[in-house]
Chains A and B, each alone.
Chain A
Amino acid sequence: MAVRAETLKELEEKQEWWWAAEKKRSSRLDYLRKAMWKKGAIGGLYPAGLYIDLERPVLQTEKARELEFSPDPYVIKFAKILAHVLDNKTIFITDHSQLVGYLGSQPHTITWDPTLAALLNHEVVNDPTSIPEPMDESLKTITDVANYWAGKSDLDKILPHMDLDDAMKVLSGAIGWGVPLSRGGYSGKDYEYIMSGVRAFEDVIAELDRKIEEADAKAHEPGASKEISDLYDKMNMWEAMKITLEAGIRHGKRYARLARIIAENFETDPDRKEELLQISEVCERIPAKPPRTLQESLQYDLFIQLFSRNEAIEGAWPSRPDYYHGPYYEKDVTIDKALTEEEALDLVGEFLIRAAEVSQYKVRWAREGLQGIEGTWVWTLGGVKKDGSDACNAMTIALLKAARLVRVANPTFAFRWHPKVSDEVMRECFECIRQGLGYPSMRNDPILIANAMNWHGHPIEEARTWVHQACMSPSPCTKHGFQPMRMANATANCAKIMEYVFTRGYDNVVNMQIGAETPPAETLTTYEQVFDAWVTQMKTIFSILVRPVNRARILAPKMTPRPYLSAVSERSVDSGLDVCDPSISRGNAWITAFTWVENADSLAAIKKLVFDEKKYTMAQLKEALANNWEGREEMRLDFVKNAPKWGNDDDYIDSIMLDCLREAAKFSRELKCPSGNNWPILPENVSGNIHYANIVGALPNGRRLGDALYDGGISPGPGLDKKGPTAVLKSCSKIDHISDGRAFLLNTRLSPTQLAGEKGYQLWKTYMKTWADLGIDHVQFNCVSDETLRSAQRDPEKYQEVIVRVAGYSAHFVDISRKTQDNIIQRTVQGLG
């Protein structure tokens, strides 16, 4: 990428923020940012130049073969496989870097975990772009690995214990996505235990040794009981945890040795030599002992995350980096002055880059649903401390500044707004939004803390520790509050609820009876009957999705344990039980509700045009939908243009939205997770609205099969919110954001011209005040002009760095499919003021 000739001021005036960032950042950050391999799929395929890393699957398979007939219990075998990978995988240190660690053996590789599911392995076999050369040789390795794990993968173990009818429906891909596995989804972490600075791996190992010693003594005293019998399993679990932590320490020391070897034998630049020796010192200590400096703290965090991704495919990165790294930043920069602000920014910026590089091979539906990114690394900033005081610190500001310098699309930030946030921090948030990053998304902290207490009964001190477990969903990071695995298949493609009302639950796209056999649509003679059918379909779909997750959570501790995640979780170190064991979790489950607003718009159209105005009959509508509106264009346009649409402060449809949400909320309290807690819904979309476009049939809101669905959450349909930003906020504020669901995503597009200068900030601040006063829990902004986006479509090479907010995440505009690009451009640009 060539450096632009314009001055920084000129670039900023033209709002070419990506070029301006290049001029502003240090030469180290510039090098590291450009040396970074973007791993997000373009549309649904991995970009050219990236290859599947075969080293790790080969290591896993060779160790598994070696242990096949060992008398070790499964959990210890699994821990040994993980340790084998950490002990033997190729490691490297990027030039100019100060932080180390990567999942793959080379920077341009994507790691593949063959232990998860045979269907994932099949996809690797079929991958058209990422099989490394020489292909013949690679295919031999891939088929050998895939054949070994066939019948032994996690899904192979879990599936026979599922209800096959439910499993078939989930795996059809029509109503949800994902698989119910404890080693594939979104892992929360017990940060209050492992990131609080008072303990690190050696301390936990000492605790595990104590536990094993005590249990061993108890198990061999005269006597017999269930408690003693259970101790044998617990001792195995503690032993497995210890194996993974010891491997983690050895892995850190491998980096220490490598950095020292390079420094002492190869590096000629004395400054860089010094840095390498510093890396060596850091990795001699980390993760064995608690960090003392910002560099050690960031390295510790990075190792914790990477080890976890060696154990499981993690599609999210729940984190609160300003809260946990803030004390080290303050100490190094403000108190000890060991680092200048610029030096600290280099470390913080590099931390974002290291996270942006992390990638694990995912199935195509996941890549399509998360176009442009590797997973939803939504890091949580701001918020309050456990005592309710403002948690923002200098690290909050450093992270927001660093984000504008490195401009990675992943991780993104979500900011926990509360009334005590300072103007300085708000300006930093605004600056990121104004400069088109699409983040931070703004979260209403008081509302969401109350929400966590309402839905899951988290005590207030724990609720205040919440982080984003995925794009949107709050989860505490405390001993009993954090959710170790959010299994992604409790993700409902809610537009199917409406579709099934007209097909009696039969899915014409995947050719299966999935929903309930409600009465034929043509026999429904009142709107209330239609709504009853909708409620029945909603309950059926939610139940089908939730039951396999519940089942898998119960099976996971024995069949798919997670010794490493358990080892960094107080609940498991204390109890000797796997971290996923429901008995030691309070529960924090939720159903992600994709494609939700289509239901309200469709029901309103039916109510108005069929039952109020009697322009059409249900039979006519059913026939039109069955034929995908073909030959009925005039009728279709009637349903698009002359029916009320959500987001216009129109009580006619807004009350229907509330009816839908409240029926779902009522049912959410009947659906229970294995810990006995509720399953609230959480409307949001990632880019599922594009992925599902060909899977959802025609709908009464005028949508045809293949048309993009709405962009999600409670965002109005693109272009259908015609009464301005306040009307959108007022519609959204009719929802009770504490009791109607777990959270509600709201996309908003603002004009970059309008946000320019101090006036822009004041306009945005006024908007945010209205948003906060109305008690809405979420809002996120796209602030890139149509002109820029159209230009990026025409000349993608020139606009490689333009970032947009897709849904609960941001992505580089050029990395998302044309259909998604168009969908973002179609969103209404709201004028403020």
Chain B
Amino acid sequence: MARMSRDDYAKASGAFGLQPRGVDTKEELEQVPDQPCGLCKHYLESAYTSDGRGSCKILKEGSDITRDPPVFILEGRNGYMLRILTDASRCTYYERNEFIDKDGYECSDPAFRRFMRQLKDK
């Protein structure tokens, strides 16, 4: 990546997505979108997914599914960083995951995404 200002770099690379700026109010926090990225087949968990971070298996950096109309970038060096509760209602690549087990006890089991408190009823 060409040298650019740290702010521009951070925005382009999704670095801000890695370190949350803060949390919303309790009321906002409880609003889980109907189509959260965390329940999509294409959501890629990293070792740090449990705090909400992940990336998309299909979309590349520069994409923005929260905009209207959304921006889909399919070519690029790095994946599109997003969060487990990102609203994916505008994403045409969304495919809801089918979970196999019900208790999700195992670590390293994709089902642990539901261990995000907000996703457990989804």
Contacts and interface: CB of A to CB of B under 8 A. Distances in A.
A671 interface: no
A139 to B, nearest CB: 5
Interface stretch (A122-130, A228-236, A338-346): A122-130
Nearest to B54: A510
Given A126-B51, A160-B6, A118 B19 contact: yes
Secondary structure type dominating chain A contacts: helix
A43 B107 CA distance: 6
Contact of A150 (B14, B22, B55): B22
Contacts of B112: 44
B2 to A, nearest CB: 12
Interface string A41-63: 00111000000000000000000
Interface in A453-468: none
Interface string B50-66: 11110111001000000
Given A126-B52, A513-B77, A139 B107 contact: no
A119 interface: yes
A125 B29 contact: yes
Nearest to A818: B106
Contact of B107 (A156, A173, A368): A368
Interface string A98-136: 000000000000000000011111110111100100001
A498 to B, nearest CB: 18
B52 to A, nearest CB: 6
A168 B22 CA distance: 19
A564 B15 CA distance: 32
A172 B79 CA distance: 11
Contacts of B102: none
B68 interface: no
A130 to B, nearest CB: 10
Contact of B44 (A119, A363, A510): A510
Given A126-B50, A126-B52, A164 B26 contact: no
A270 B108 CA distance: 53
Given A122-B23, A168-B13, A368-B108, A511 B79 contact: yes
Contact of A44 (B9, B22, B29, B107): B107
Interface residues of A, number: 56
B46 A118 contact: no
Interface residues of B, number: 45
A19 interface: no
Contact of A143 (B13, B26, B51): B26
B19 A156 contact: yes
A691 interface: yes
Contacts of A694: 45, 108, 110
Contacts, number: 149
Contact of B29 (A143, A171, A692): A143
A706 interface: yes
A140 B19 contact: no
Interface string B13-55: 1110011111111100100000000000000111111111101
Contacts of A164: 6, 9-10, 13, 15
A146 interface: yes
A817 B107 contact: yes
A123 B47 contact: no
Interface in B44-97: 44-53, 55-57, 60, 77-79
A311 B11 CA distance: 33
B115 interface: yes
A329 to B, nearest CB: 41
A800 interface: no
Nearest to A688: B47
8 contacts: A121-B23, A123-B51, A140-B26, A171-B48, A173-B48, A510-B44, A512-B78, A694-B45
Interface of A: 43-45, 117-123, 125-128, 131, 136, 139-140, 143, 146-147, 150-151, 155-156, 159-160, 164-165, 167-168, 171-174, 177, 363-365, 368, 371, 509-513, 690-695, 706, 817-819
The 3 closest A-B pairs by CB, nearest first: A173-B47, A511-B79, A150-B22
Given A511-B57, A693-B108, 13 more contacts: A122-B51, A122-B52, A125-B29, A126-B118, A127-B117, A136-B26, A164-B15, A168-B15, A177-B47, A509-B44, A510-B79, A690-B107, A817-B108
